[in-house]
Chains A and B, each alone.
Chain A
Amino acid sequence: MSDVILELNELHTHFFTDSGEVPAVDGVSFKLHKGEVVGVVGESGCGKSVTSLSVMQLVPNPPGRIVSGEVNFKGENIAVAREKRMKEIRGNEIAMIFQEPMTSLNPVYSIGNQLIEAVRMHKKVSKKEARNKAIEMLEIVGIPRPSEVVDEFPHQLSGGMRQRVMIAMAMSCDPEVLIADEPTTALDVTIQAQILDLMRNLNKEQDTAILLITHDLGVVAEMCDRVVVMYSGQVVEEGTVREILKDPKHPYTKGLIRSLPKLYEKEQKLYSIPGTVPKPSMDHVGCRFAPRCEFAWDRCVEENPDLYELGAERKARCFLYDEKEKVTEGGPQYDEADPRG
């Protein structure tokens, strides 16, 4: 494997609300290698977005704060970096695009103005050079008539076009990492495919590592090299895209994949994982997924499993893969009094 560019190490981001402390990101660790596309998958509210905002130190504070852990970017722990340093990193070395292309552009400035600003924020170039760079970037992201669009305003562009502009803006300073927070969720399917193609090309041509936050396993299958599955603020499984989709280990991932409609099988009703995502809380004991898990036994409600290593960069947070269980019991045990009732 090539060198690690971004590494999260036991990252804890908590929100301090009136109703108590909420551990939105609860000890998340994973690695992003140079030129790699890693998908972070999970249901709404599982901490995907907060994880990505934590990397940029953009968690709204108050109420949110990185409590402990490291975000190592090229060997520098940027979780504790000063705001001044972060401003150099943001946009220049780590760029980010968001879910809503309709509202991610400032309505009162022309496209060109905003692109020029993005370029000039980190690079000492003249206005004219920045404008040429802006037109060039628009062309790279596949916007027709770039020299005209550059003078147009956001309301004159469609959602897909705006997301292309956002990508152009994010890529204008040649960042080494691009964090894409649900970049295609708000777009219709044909445009989704175009935007994903575009990101894939940028990844290949410019060797930009991409951290793709999504809840869409289809997007993951199309785009990613490796996948990190999150549940209730924790990483529950990690592996290559093939491993995750073909041979999911964690019961949650299994459930996710089972709940996808299949092309060649006729099913009356689509499978869904029973129950809902628990609200992250400080006094949670046991496995977060235990109440919804079909394999859960008494140990699952009493202690939270570690992230067991199953191979090179292949992990799952489940007692099913604990060596101790296998040796002593010869396999997972099913308990009659499990919390499913």
Chain B
Amino acid sequence: MNTKDDKQHSEQLVSNPAKLKQQQVEAEEMEVISPWKDTLKQLRKNRLAIAGFIIIAFFIVVGLVAPFLTPYTFSEQDPVNRLQSPNMDHWLGTDHLGRDIFTRIAHGARISLMVGFFAVTGALLFGTLFGIIAGYYGRWIDMLISRIFDILLAFPSILLAIAVVAILGASLQNALIAIAIINIPIFGRLVRSKVISLREEEFILAAKAQGMKSGRILRHHILPNSLAPIIVQGTLGFGTAILEAAALGFLGLGAQPPTPEWGKMLADSRDFIQLAPWTLIFPGVSIMLVVLGFNLIGDGLRDALDPKMKN
């Protein structure tokens, strides 16, 4: 601290030099914490969120190295060794066509995470865009967008997804599009309500009074301040999207054989539930674990990003 600052400072607090000193000490102890670093710090303290991260990291790694994990391919059939219970050659057993379940689950992890990622990204981008437009501009455009959201939300989500897939044709890609579409209003409404409350904030008025353009206000002031709920919903939505993809796969409307999609694996094996329960248990547990992982992270993020939860 240079002398000039010191002088200026002491002029304001000239009556109480002891207080001045104390203030300086406090100021030096205070380190600069950005909101994001603070969130990370909060998150690291949350054990459940860490558990979620470990689960997801495990499935990501398994998905990445899937081709090198086992000597089998996910579509390789071996009729002689079908419906084998877990053993040294087939860690998680084989299905009714003699395919190695562990290999298929590892490859399925790729598909599920990919579906989750693209469906959530799509829903998040479009939902945020529509939500911001509706919330910031209001009037008839808000009316229009909000009513479309209401209509989309009035359908049971899986029914809507089935309708979309029925129009586009059954494939993994179309299932992904369907899941993105049904999730758009969830993000859209969230962002809209956040934008409406932000719009009334004084710093937005202050930005306008500085001569800032609308686009810039949206990008620099509205969007960064609505990120927290978007991130939380995005993480939670990941789990939902994976679950919906599995449901569509189970109904035969998602990934087509021989793609090792977890929901499809469940559907294929349901006739053998008594004979070879492992053919259902392992894909089912995988779905459960991934969804649980994302939900744990989502909850952790929500707590970390909520200023009221801080102590």
Q: Please judge, given known A-B contacts A104-B202, A142-B8, whether A95 and B32 are in contact too, CB under 8 Å.
A: no
Residue from A95, A117, A139, A144 within 8 A of B209 (CB atoms): A95
What is the number of contacts between chain A and chain B, taking CB atoms within 8 Å? 90
Q: Is the CB of B203 within 8 A of A104?
A: yes
User: Is A313 part of the contact surface with B, judged by Cβ < 8 Å?
Assistant: no
Q: Please judge, given known A-B contacts A90-B211, A117-B220, A145-B27, whether A108 and B35 are in contact too, CB under 8 Å.
A: yes
User: Is A332 part of the contact surface with B, judged by Cβ < 8 Å?
Assistant: no
In whole angstroms, how far apart are the Cα atoms of A142 and B206 in the complex? 21
Q: Is the CB of A107 within 8 A of B5?
A: no
Q: Is the CB of A118 within 8 A of B12?
A: no
In whole angstroms, how far apart are the Cα atoms of A115 and B249 in the complex? 53
Q: Is the CB of B34 within 8 A of A153?
A: yes
Please encode chain B, from 57 to 77, with 1 for each CB lying within 8 Å of some chain A CB and 0 for all others: 000000000000000000000
Residue from B27, B32, B206, B220 within 8 A of A151 (CB atoms): B32
Residue from B5, B8, B205 within 8 A of A58 (CB atoms): B205
A73 to chain B, nearest CB (A): 14
User: Is A146 part of the contact surface with B, judged by Cβ < 8 Å?
Assistant: yes
User: Is A56 part of the contact surface with B, judged by Cβ < 8 Å?
Assistant: yes
Q: Is the CB of B211 within 8 A of A88?
A: yes
User: Is B308 part of the contact surface with A, judged by Cβ < 8 Å?
Assistant: no
A53 to chain B, nearest CB (A): 8
Which of B1, B205, B220, B225 has the most CB atoms of chain A within a 10 A radius of its CB? B205
In whole angstroms, how far apart are the Cα atoms of A56 and B43 in the complex? 43
User: Is B89 part of the contact surface with A, judged by Cβ < 8 Å?
Assistant: no
Q: Which residue of A lies closest to B30 (CB)?
A: A156
Q: Which residue of A lies closest to B201 (CB)?
A: A103
User: Is B90 part of the contact surface with A, judged by Cβ < 8 Å?
Assistant: no
Q: Is the CB of B209 within 8 A of A96?
A: yes
In whole angstroms, how far apart are the Cα atoms of A156 and B1 in the complex? 19
In whole angstroms, how far apart are the Cα atoms of A166 and B203 in the complex? 10
B22 to chain A, nearest CB (A): 13
User: Is A89 part of the contact surface with B, judged by Cβ < 8 Å?
Assistant: yes
Q: Which residue of B lies closest to A100 (CB)?
A: B202
In whole angstroms, how far apart are the Cα atoms of A118 and B224 in the complex? 18
Q: Is the CB of A152 within 8 A of B32?
A: yes
User: Is A5 part of the contact surface with B, judged by Cβ < 8 Å?
Assistant: no
Please encode chain B, from 208 to 241, with 1 for each CB lying within 8 Å of some chain A CB and 0 for all others: 1111110000001100110000000000000000
In whole angstroms, how far apart are the Cα atoms of A141 and B205 in the complex? 22
B109 to chain A, nearest CB (A): 35
Q: Is the CB of B5 within 8 A of A121?
A: no
Q: Please judge, given known A-B contacts A104-B202, A104-B203, A106-B225, whether A91 and B209 are in contact too, CB under 8 Å.
A: yes
User: Is B9 part of the contact surface with A, judged by Cβ < 8 Å?
Assistant: yes
Chain B interface, number of residues (Cβ within 8 angstroms): 28
B252 to chain A, nearest CB (A): 46
Q: Is the CB of A146 within 8 A of B209?
A: no
Q: Is the CB of A58 within 8 A of B202?
A: no
Q: Is the CB of B5 within 8 A of A146?
A: yes
In whole angstroms, how far apart are the Cα atoms of A121 and B225 in the complex? 21
B243 to chain A, nearest CB (A): 32
Q: Is the CB of A144 within 8 A of B8?
A: yes
| Neighbouring A residues of B211 by C-beta, 8 Å | 86-92, 121-122
Q: Which residue of A lies closest to B27 (CB)?
A: A145
User: Is B88 part of the contact surface with A, judged by Cβ < 8 Å?
Assistant: no
User: Is B275 part of the contact surface with A, judged by Cβ < 8 Å?
Assistant: no
| Neighbouring B residues of A89 by C-beta, 8 Å | 211
Q: Is the CB of B202 within 8 A of A108?
A: no
In whole angstroms, how far apart are the Cα atoms of A107 and B220 in the complex? 11
B293 to chain A, nearest CB (A): 28
| Neighbouring B residues of A103 by C-beta, 8 Å | 201-203
Residue from A88, A90, A144 within 8 A of B208 (CB atoms): A90
Q: Please judge, given known A-B contacts A144-B5, A153-B34, A153-B35, whether A98 and B12 are in contact too, CB under 8 Å.
A: no
| Neighbouring B residues of A90 by C-beta, 8 Å | 208-211
User: Is A272 part of the contact surface with B, judged by Cβ < 8 Å?
Assistant: no
B214 to chain A, nearest CB (A): 9
B216 to chain A, nearest CB (A): 8
Q: Is the CB of B202 within 8 A of A98?
A: yes
A192 to chain B, nearest CB (A): 13
Q: Which of A38-71 contact B (CB under 8 A)?
A: 56, 58, 62
Please encode chain A, from 141 to 169, with 1 for each CB lying within 8 Å of some chain B CB and 0 for all others: 01011101001110010000000001001
In whole angstroms, how far apart are the Cα atoms of A259 and B254 in the complex? 77
User: Is A281 part of the contact surface with B, judged by Cβ < 8 Å?
Assistant: no
In whole angstroms, how far apart are the Cα atoms of A89 and B209 in the complex? 9
User: Is B33 part of the contact surface with A, judged by Cβ < 8 Å?
Assistant: yes
| Neighbouring B residues of A145 by C-beta, 8 Å | 1, 5, 27
User: Is A245 part of the contact surface with B, judged by Cβ < 8 Å?
Assistant: no
Residue from A87, A139, A156 within 8 A of B213 (CB atoms): A87
Q: Is the CB of A121 within 8 A of B206?
A: no
Q: Is the CB of B221 within 8 A of A95?
A: no
Q: Please judge, given known A-B contacts A98-B202, A145-B1, A145-B27, whether A107 and B35 are in contact too, CB under 8 Å.
A: yes
In whole angstroms, how far apart are the Cα atoms of A2 and B283 in the complex? 83
Q: Report which B residues bind A (CB closer than 8 A).
A: 1, 5, 8-9, 12, 27, 30, 32-35, 139, 201-203, 205-213, 220-221, 224-225
What are the 5 closest A-B residue pairs judged by CB atoms, nearest first? A91-B210, A90-B211, A91-B211, A96-B209, A144-B9
A91-B209, A144-B9, A169-B206 known, 8 other contacts, Cβ within 8 Å: A95-B209, A98-B205, A103-B202, A117-B220, A144-B8, A144-B27, A153-B34, A170-B210
